[in-house]
Amino acid sequence: MHKHYAAVVTVAPLVVLAAVAPAAHADTTVGDARITSITFAKATTGVGATLGTSVGVTLTATDNSGIDSVIGPKVVGPDGLVIRPTHNECTAQSATTVQCVYSFPLSPDGTDAQDLRNSSAGTWHFKAKAVANDGDSHHLSPGAPLSVKRHAKLVDAQATPEPIDKGDKLTVTGWLRRANWDTNVWDDYAGKSVALQFRESGTDTFKTVKTVTTDSLGKLRTTVTANTTGTWRWRFTANTIATGATSQGDRVVVN
């Protein structure tokens, strides 16, 4: 089989995550060449304010004459940002099939043109074109979707006073923050709904007690009635541009 596969290119180690099910993709095809699967290491990836990560992608392509090359692998953000792979390796699986493994760096540090901006959060697309020995081809466009989000975090829940007498009022505080890829700091995440959850001692399940909205500084503060000993925590649900977050819990003894 005539093969022109890209050489392996590596850089400093990055985090590559476990594989998940292939994502759907659109097709532009000539002949019987097919990219039969795209598997992301993780379908949704969160990136912090300063530390980057990477996303792994595995591609499988086939043609009855064999695959000559896979060209132009890249991921493209909602703002048009294009990131090329730092690891690019294709291996023949048979006379007709090739498998390629890529690693795409996702960095917010602002040191080069490929680094993330706040406008980059949302749905990205992996794109590539498989070309067969007989000239057939398959081009992914718009490509397989991948979600890249600004990482959110919740400062540990604090419940006071503790210990507390049954029936007294307990005050629970917290702080929701979100990575800013433009300034490389953690912003206060204002105006967001966050669930206050409680797990009674001796049980395994947290239950939502109420929903609280963060103030202009991303701070959370509410009061509840203390009825039984257990652990309080905050939980934020992911949205289209930010990851979900769960705080560490604070156990309160009720007398």
pLDDT at 26: 57
Instruction: Quick: pLDDT tens for 106-124.
Output: 999 878 888 999 999 999 9
Q: How far apart are CA 27 and CA 37, in angstroms?
A: 12
Those residues with Cβ within 8 angstroms of residue 25's Cβ, 6 or more apart along the chain or in another chain: 35, 38, 126, 140, 143, 144
Instruction: Quick: pLDDT tens for 186-205.
Output: 999 999 999 999 999 999 99
Q: To the nearest whole percent, how much of the chain has pLDDT over 70?
A: 90
Place 24 in a pLDDT band, splitting at 50, 70 and 90: very low
Instruction: Quick: pLDDT tens for 208-232.
Output: 999 999 999 999 999 999 999 999 9
| More confidently predicted of 164 and 3 | 164
Q: To the nearest whole percent, how much of the chain has pLDDT over 90?
A: 85
The arrangement of secondary structure in 28-149, i.e. its CATH architecture, is Sandwich (2.60)
Instruction: Quick: pLDDT tens for 30-61.
Output: 999 999 999 999 999 999 999 999 999 999 99
Instruction: Cite the residue boundaries of each domain of the chain with CATH code 2.60.40.730.
Output: 152-252
Q: How far apart are CA 58 and CA 91, in angstroms?
A: 11
DSSP, res 118: G
Place 141 in a pLDDT band, splitting at 50, 70 and 90: confident
pLDDT at 113: 82
Q: On the CB side of 145, how many CA atoms lie within 13 Å of its CA?
A: 7
Q: On the CB side of 125, how many CA atoms lie within 13 Å of its CA?
A: 15
pLDDT surpassing 70 at residue 8: no
Task: Please name which of 144, 146, 79, 151 lies closest in space to residue 115, comparing C-alpha atoms.
Answer: 79
Instruction: Cite the residue boundaries of each domain of the chain with CATH code 2.60.40.3880.
Output: 28-149
Query: What residue has token string 């819990």?
Result: 249
Q: Does residue 86 sit in helix, strand or coil?
A: coil
Tokens representing residue 239 in the block: 């949205």
Pairing of strands 137-139, 53-62: unpaired
pLDDT surpassing 70 at residue 17: no
Place 19 in a pLDDT band, splitting at 50, 70 and 90: very low
Instruction: Provide the β-strand partners of residue 132.
Output: 67
The CATH superfamily holding the domain 152-252 is SOR catalytic domain (2.60.40.730)
- For residues 152-177, average pLDDT: 96
Q: 146 with 124: CB under 8 angstroms? A: yes
